[in-house]
Structure 1
Amino acid sequence: MLKHLPTEMKHDKRLTDKLYVPLPLVQLALKLRSCRWIKVIPAPFVLLFTFHTAHAQDPELKGTVAPVIKTQDTTIRKLMEEVQRITDNDKQNSTAIQALLQGKEIDNITKYELIKNNIINASETYYLLNKKIIDLKSRTTTNNLDVFITSLNNPESKALGFSLSDRIVELVEKIILKNKSDKGEKNSKIVESTKSIINSPIFQSFTSLTPPLAIANSVMNFLHSVSVNNKQINQKSLQDFEKELNKYVVYYTALNDANQKFEYGLNFNKDQLSLLQDNLFDHLSFTATSMKFPAPQKGNQGLSQTMNEYFFDFKKEKVVDYFNQLETKYTKGKRVDYESLLRENSSLKEVNNQLEDLVLQTKRFENLYNEYFTLLDSYYTKVNNSLKIAQDNGLADKSIIDAKQAEFRNLKTEAVGEIQASINIRELYSNTEKIKYRYRIF
């Protein structure tokens, strides 16, 4: 800056002859200080303003660059940075809190909708499962199939071209009496006694499908007892008679075995269905009580009747109405307070979480349903085998056996179709799949 000063200042000479006369810059500063308003301005700003004014007035100072004032104190800057950081954090926290609140609300809505839809669909599943249990429990086969089997096992029937009652009498006359049944009183009594055994009310009252075997056994015992006092009936005659009779016994034994196993299988199937219905009753009672519905009550009547009557009240439409009323109760303004709804009706969560057991019950019914048709298939095979025995033993012509097997096959197909249409297992499948029981709510 010295090179810009006047020559006189460079040589330490004064710019004026007058002593103690201030320099131009000092004069300007003095003038400013004489002003009253300047007294309120801090000294550093006065100097800065003075320098700026002089700089503007002196052409030689216009090219001079103002020095950068650096302060050693960074406290204010750090405080401002900290305030900014806290402000930014507050904004982030506020955004996060809003997101959490919104997420919590969405989560409550999702939970409620899941519970609601599951229980509504479950109400229909209860009804369908009970209805199909009752239907399957009432099944044996079908009327036509029962008539067919009964005719094959009836000693008086000629379904295979012969009557067992007539054949036994013929064998007694031919083998035991050597075709001399009309000769002698003893022979006549043997034939009459044989017919009396066959037509005994005891055998006619049998509810099981075993009359032919009982008749054959009774006739053999009778002939053995008679042979003790009747010399005409020798051991060889009895053996020949028993050999021929056994051809029929083997056929009826095979048919009886088929009938007994099918009946045993059906009874076991029905017992399992009854147990399943008991479990369904308990599960339904829990759900109804949790929703403050009147629970079903067991009385003197059968469980099937109790359940059927209960479903007049506990049905899908009323469950839908229950949730509509619940939403209305917890509506505040234009929105439902799902958080309060779930908190104050926490039993609904447990109902939802227990629906897995209901789904497992439908799976159990499906197994019993399939087992029924497995029983029917096995029964069909065994009856056909018994018919084949009748053919092999010469009891009936092949053409008759073939016709009976074809008739039995058609009746079985008809029975399967009728049962499938009546129970309609797909209806239960489709409704059960709507229950999202895998999603537990806590």
Structure 2
Amino acid sequence: MRFMRFVSMPVVLMMSFQVAKAQDPEIKKVPVPDQELKGPTIKNADTTIKKILDELQRVTDNDKQNSNAIQALLQGREIDNITKYELIKSNIVNASETYYLLNKKIIDLKSRTTTNNLDVFITSLNNPESKALGFSLSDRVVELVEKIILKGKADKSGRNGKIVESTKSIINSPIFQSFTSLTPPLAIANSVMNFLHSVSVNNKQINQKALQDFEKELNKYVIYYTSLNDANQKFEFGLNFNKDQLSLLQDNLYEHLRFTASALKFPLPQRDNKSIGETLNSFFFDFKKEKVIDFFNAMEAKYTKNKRIDYELLLRENPNLKEANNQLEDLILQTKRFENLYNEYFTLLDSYYGKVNSSLKIALDNGLSEKGIIETKQNEFRNLKTEAVSEIQSSINIKELYNNTEKIKYRYRIF
């Protein structure tokens, strides 16, 4: 039928006439002019048929090409869906481990001040009763009172003896003993000076020159302890700020984890009245790498038909997986923020080390202690600081977090 559409009407009429003539003997032969018997009419018919056949072949070839192209597109689409799914799966599985590691390391760093040995060292330098530098502040203050204020006339029964006993009483006051910062030496010096000034009002033997000479000598110790106190306060302030930032980071981690858990249909972590650290620690009993792998295995089984996973349907019916994958850049940024806070801790420790050494140098320059003792303490402090750095680095193991984070291909967005 398709062929007949392309046959010209004159040809059809001619063929019909020839058939009728063959069937009816009465039909007489009609002479045909010679030019009508020549080739052009047959040649034109052959050309038309050839064009029709060529057109048919072209259509057949186009159909085959289109079919191949469609198959290639379908196959490419299937491969694309597989690639998307495998990327999402790999990223979220590795992210589950990253959540756990990041929380663990935040808690560890938040608990750090220094180390026990380093704390003991600093406390001993500040303790008024300690002779870590070859003297105790308590003894030196009493000696200065006896030598400068009382001119060596500190009889136990007289008024001078009472001044010495009152000075000792101030030094041993429970108020100063209860201080936990580096302020006791400074508070003691200030209280003793106030006491002597008040006594001088009614005691003519304590003149202004004696008070000035006493204050001058006492200030050598005050400068040393002030420097030590400044070092401690700045270190403590830096640590507290660092901990506040770590707490904020942990809150952000909690919110990000809730989003990912909801995408995977895991029960969400509930705060209730628990601390953020306790909440996350409890949640990681269930939300861990092995459980996330089980989740994806179950999903693959659900969408398997005739031993083939329908990745297109899986992704279409679980759009939250794509969003969870695309949000992983925020998790990476959180790990980078932790690395910054981790490095800031050591910057704080370095600064603290430098300030304490400066305090020890002040003690040497003011003649409070011998050079050999100061150098020994500086070496001891350097070793303790090195030990503290090594212990913290080993405990937190920042490389472990970095290596795990590198497995997350967060730059590839899935749409």
Q: Shared fold (TM-score greater than 0.5)?
A: yes
Deviations 1:17-40 (A, max 9, x none): xxxxxxxxxxxxxxxxxxxxxx69
Please say if residues 155 and 161 of structure 2, whose CA atoms lie closer than 8 Å, have aligned partners that are also in contact.
yes
Partner AA of 1:200 in structure 2: S
**Structure 1 counterpart of 2:406, from 433, 438, 442:** 433
Residue matched to 1:385: 358
Q: Which of 116, 131, 135 is 2:89 aligned to?
A: 116
Q: 1:404 — aligned with what?
A: 377
Aligned residue in 2 for 1:10: none
1:3-14 residue pairs with structure 2 within 5 A?
none
Equivalent position SS for 1:413: helix
The letter for the 2-side match of 1:138 is S
Q: Distance in 2 between matches of 1:188 and 1:78?
A: 135
One-letter amino acid of the counterpart of residue 364, structure 2: Q
2:43 aligned partner = 71
1:184 Cα shift? 6.0
Q: Give the aligned partner of residue 271 of structure 2.
A: 298
Match of 1:82 in 2: 55
1:254 corresponds to: 227
Q: Which residue of 2 aligns with 1:326?
A: 299
The alpha-carbon deviation at position 302 of structure 1 amounts to 1.3
Distance (whole Å) between structure 1 residues aligned to residue 370 and residue 99 of structure 2: 53
Q: Tell me the alpha carbon deviations over residues 54-84 of structure 1, each in whole angstroms, 9 at most, x when there is no partner.
A: xxxxxxxxxxxxx999613433222222211
Equivalent in the alignment of 1:11: none
Report matched runs for 1:236-251 at 5 Å. Answer: 236-251=209-224
Where 1:270 maps in the other structure, the secondary structure is helix
1:190 counterpart = 2:163: yes
Other-structure match for 1:352 = 325
> CA separation in 2, counterparts of 1:70 and 1:103?
51
State the partner residue of 2:182: 209
Q: 2:116 aligns with which of 143, 162, 176?
A: 143
1:221 pairs, out of 194, 214, 217, with 194
Distance 1:82 1:186 in 2: 132
1:102 and 2:75 are equivalent in the alignment: yes
SS of residue matched to 1:72: helix
TM-score relative to the length of structure 2: 0.89
Aligned equivalent of 1:158? 131
SS of residue paired to 1:71: helix
1-structure distance, mates of 2:58, 2:206: 123
For residues 249 and 123 of structure 1, the distance between their equivalents in structure 2, rounded to whole angstroms, comes to: 54
Q: Deviations over 1:104-158 (max 9, x none)?
A: 0000000000000000000000000000000000000000000000000000000
The one-letter code sitting in structure 1 at the alignment partner of 2:148 is I
Q: Offset of 1:209 from its aligned partner?
A: 1.5
Deviation per CA, 1:386-428, whole angstroms, max 9, x where unpaired?
A: 0000000000000000000000000000000000000000100
Structure 2 spans left out of the alignment, 5+ residues:
1-21, 24-38
Tell me which of 55, 63, 66 is aligned to 1:93.
66
Deviation of 1:199 after TM superposition, in Å, equals 0.5
SS of the equivalent of 2:380 reads helix
Contact preservation (8 Å) 2:156, 2:162: no
Q: Is the 8 A contact 2:242 2:341 kept in 1?
A: yes
Tell me, yes or no, if structure 1 residue 265 matches structure 2 residue 238: yes
- Hey, what's the Cα distance between the residues in 2 that align with 1:178 and 1:299? 68
Match for residue 278 of structure 1?
251
Instruction: Select 1:417's aligned residue among 382, 390, 408.
Output: 390
Separation (CA, whole Å) in 2 of partners of 1:294 and 1:189? 73
- How far, CA to CA, are the matches of 1:408 and 1:133 in structure 2? 27
2:17 paired residue number? none
Partner of 1:335: 308
Secondary structure class of the residue paired with 2:389:
helix
Aligned residues with identical type, % of pairs: 81
Letter in 2 for 1:177: L
Report whether the alignment pairs 1:289 with 2:262.
yes
CA distance in 2 between counterparts of 1:293 and 1:118 reads 17
Q: Which has the larger radius of gyration?
A: 1
Task: Report the Cα distance in structure 1 between the residues aligned to 2:213 and 2:364, rounded to whole angstroms.
Answer: 20
TM-score by length of structure 1 reads 0.84
Separation in 2 of the partners of 1:301 and 1:215? 42
Q: Deviations over 1:135-190 (max 9, x none)?
A: 00000000000000000000000000000000000000000000001176221111
How many residue pairs were aligned?
Answer: 380
1:232 to 205, 209, 221: 205
AA of the residue aligned to 1:409: R
CA–CA distance in 2 between the matches of 1:310 and 1:213?
A: 48
The SS at the match of 1:95 is helix
